[in-house]
C-alpha cells in the first residue's frame, strides 16, 4: 500500500482528487448511454480501473474528464457489442453525438439536482409513481405495464410525457435560480 513518503502517494492522491471531482459527471455520462443501472455501474467500475491502470499516460493539466469519458465511451461500446443487441445501423454515431451533448450539460452542477428534486415532488401522484417504478426501482417497461395494467406503448408514452413535464419544470427552476 502507498505511504505518504512514497512518490506514488502523490500520484495516487492526484488521481483520487481528479476522479472525485469528476465522478458525478462521468457517472451521469455513462448512465445516459446504458439503460440498466447495474450495467452502468459495472462499466464505471471497469472504466475507473482502466483509468487508474493508465494514469501514468495521463498528463496533468489536460482535460481529465474528457479523457475519462473517452475511456468510458469505449467501455460502453464494448459492453454493447458483448450483449449482441440487434445491430442498429449508425448506432455508435448516434451515441457519440448524444453523449457529447450530455457531457456538456452534466457539468452544470448541483443547482440542477435541487431543481429536479423539487420538480419530482411537484408531479401528480400517478406520474410520480411512474418515475418511482421506472427510474428509482429500475423496473422494465413490460413489468410496469403489467403492474399498472396498461400497454407497454402506453407506458412509453406516459413516461415521455412525464419527462417532458419535468424538463420544462427543471428549466424554469434553474432559470429562476441563475
d(CA 51, CA 91): 25
**Segment 24-53, which members bind other proteins (CB under 8 A)?**
24, 27-28, 31-33, 35-42, 44-45, 48
Q: Which of 68, 72, 76, 170 forms a contact with other proteins (CB under 8 A)?
A: 170
Quick one: which segment of 10-18, 60-68, 71-79 binds other proteins (CB under 8 A)? 10-18
Q: Contacting other proteins (CB under 8 A), which of 11, 77, 92, 112?
A: 112
Binding region for other proteins (CB under 8 A) out of 54-62, 66-74, 152-160: 152-160
Give the three cell numbers for residue 47.
472504466
Distance in Å from the first CA to the final CA of the chain? 45
Stretch that binds other proteins, among 58-66, 70-78, 140-148 (CB under 8 A): 140-148
By CB under 8 A, residue 151 contacts other proteins: no
CB of 117 to other proteins, least distance (A): 5
Query: 52, 67 in Cβ contact below 8 A?
Result: no
DSSP string across 24-86: HHHHHHHHHH-S-HHHHHHHHHHHHHHHHHTGGGPPTTS-HHHHHHHHHHHHHHHHHHHHTPP
Amino acid at each position: 500500500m502507498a505511504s505518504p513518503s512514497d512518490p506514488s502517494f502523490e500520484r495516487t492522491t492526484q488521481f483520487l482528487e481528479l476522479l472525485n471531482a469528476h465522478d458525478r459527471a462521468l457517472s451521469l455520462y455513462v448512465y445516459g448511454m446504458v439503460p440498466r443501472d447495474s450495467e452502468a455501474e459495472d462499466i464505471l467500475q471497469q472504466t475507473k480501473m482502466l483509468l487508474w491502470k493508465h494514469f501514468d499516460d495521463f498528463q496533468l493539466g489536460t482535460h481529465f474528464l474528457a479523457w475519462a469519458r473517452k475511456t468510458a465511451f469505449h467501455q460502453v461500446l464494448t459492453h454493447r457489442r458483448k450483449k449482441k443487441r440487434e445491430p442498429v445501423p449508425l448506432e455508435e454515431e448516434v451515441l457519440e453525438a448524444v453523449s457529447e451533448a450530455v457531457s456538456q450539460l452534466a457539468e452544470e452542477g448541483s443547482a440542477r439536482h435541487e431543481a429536479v428534486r423539487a420538480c419530482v415532488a411537484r408531479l401528480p401522484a400517478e406520474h410520480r409513481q411512474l418515475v418511482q417504478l421506472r427510474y428509482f426501482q429500475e423496473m422494465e417497461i413490460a413489468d410496469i405495464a403489467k403492474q399498472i395494467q396498461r400497454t407497454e406503448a402506453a407506458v412509453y408514452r406516459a413516461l415521455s410525457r412525464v419527462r417532458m413535464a419535468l424538463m420544462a419544470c427543471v428549466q424554469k427552476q434553474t432559470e429562476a435560480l441563475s
